[in-house]
């Protein structure tokens, strides 16, 4: 978490562009929120009905941990739209972005409940120590 | 029916394993929520999944409860869910993201 789902019209985003958009979205999320890159998942689909395009060429749906400000969410959405526009050559007004909150306490990753925003460093240190201990035993 | 969404990387969960997981997720749902699950599988196409901007091996399993879940209960259920998934697929604990959502407000 976060999970970014990018659904696009068939053939609208090449595999090469997907890789670059994933890099951009990961960087944008980390720059805006301070979260580590290891938390960021970006998955691409084509014409997936569960994330309706509503006549647009691309949709970016982001489910992020609750606690970010509206300004942060707008910054992520605007910059991610620009990344898709630039990397896939899709008109900006043909791209929809949507960011929704999910409480960190509802999500388990790496076997641990996700940290609240701002508590990532302590969580990562504890998680890595736990993994090292399990690996050693 | 309890809604359960599973997102996996294409080719990572063989059909046989998927069928076994569906059965186990149903059993889990009945135990956790008193109802079977409606399990929806979605495969991320090849070369289309990224974690930390690198090719992803992560799967997402997400339940939406019909009643709010107490946090202590949720943590225990999430641990069971992760154990179920890693036990069936053989993936590492770092490759599974498990979510139990409370119901959406009407």
Give the number of other Cβ atoms within 10 Å of residue A110's Cβ.
21
Lowest mean pLDDT among A106-110, A127-131, B48-52: A127-131
pLDDT at B15 > cutoff 90: no
In this prediction the ipTM stands at: 0.96
Cβ pair B45, B9 in contact under 8 A: no
The pLDDT confidence band at residue A6, using thresholds 50, 70 and 90, is: very high
B51 Cβ under 8 Å from any chain A Cβ: yes
| CB spacing of B60 vs A111 below 8 angstroms | no
- Tens digits of per-residue pLDDT, B26-48? 999 999 999 999 999 999 999 99
Kindly state the tokens that stand for A58.
């691309």
> Structurally, how many domains does chain A consist of?
1
| CB spacing of A105 vs B49 below 8 angstroms | no
Instruction: Report DSSP state, residue A38.
Output: G
Question: What sign results for the dihedral spanned by CA atoms A72, A123, A18, B99?
Answer: negative
How would CATH label the architecture of B2-101?
2-Layer Sandwich (3.30)
Q: What pLDDT shows up at residue B106?
A: 64
Q: Which structural domain range is residue A60 located in?
A: 3-136
- Tens digits of per-residue pLDDT, A39-81? 999 999 999 999 999 999 999 999 999 999 999 999 999 999 9
**CATH at residue A19:** 3.30.429.10
Residue A114's alpha-carbon distances to A12, A68, B64, B96, in angstroms, are: 34, 15, 18, 12
What does residue B76 show for φ and ψ, rounded to 5 degrees? -65, -45
Map out the domains of chain B as residue ranges: 2-101
Minimal Cα–Cα distance from B93 to chain A, Å? Answer: 5
């Amino acid at each position: 978490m976060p999970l970014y789902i990018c659904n696009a019209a068939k053939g609208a985003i090449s595999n090469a562009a997907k890789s670059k958009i994933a890099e951009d979205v990961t960087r944008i999320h980390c720059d805006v929120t301070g979260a580590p890159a290891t938390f960021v998942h970006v998955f691409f689909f084509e014409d997936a009905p569960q994330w309706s395009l509503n006549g647009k060429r691309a949709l970016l749906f982001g489910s992020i941990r609750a606690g970010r400000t509206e300004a942060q969410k707008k910054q992520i959405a605007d910059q991610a739209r620009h990344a898709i526009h630039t990397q896939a050559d899709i008109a900006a007004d043909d791209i929809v972005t949507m960011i929704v909150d999910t409480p960190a306490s509802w999500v388990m990753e790496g076997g641990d409940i996700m940290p609240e925003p701002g508590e990532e460093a302590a969580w990562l240190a504890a998680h890595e120590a736990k993994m090292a201990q399990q690996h050693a035993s | 029916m309890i809604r359960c969404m599973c997102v996996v990387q294409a080719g990572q969960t063989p059909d046989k394993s998927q069928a076994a997981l569906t059965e186990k997720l149903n059993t889990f749902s009945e135990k956790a929520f008193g109802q079977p699950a409606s399990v929806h599988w979605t495969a991320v196409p090849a070369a289309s999944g990224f974690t930390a901007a690198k090719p992803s091996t992560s799967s997402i399993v997400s339940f939406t409860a019909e009643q709010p879940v107490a946090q202590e209960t949720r943590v225990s259920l999430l641990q069971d869910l992760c154990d179920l998934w890693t036990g069936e697929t053989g993936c590492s604990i770092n490759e599974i993201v498990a979510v139990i959502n409370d119901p959406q407000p009407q």
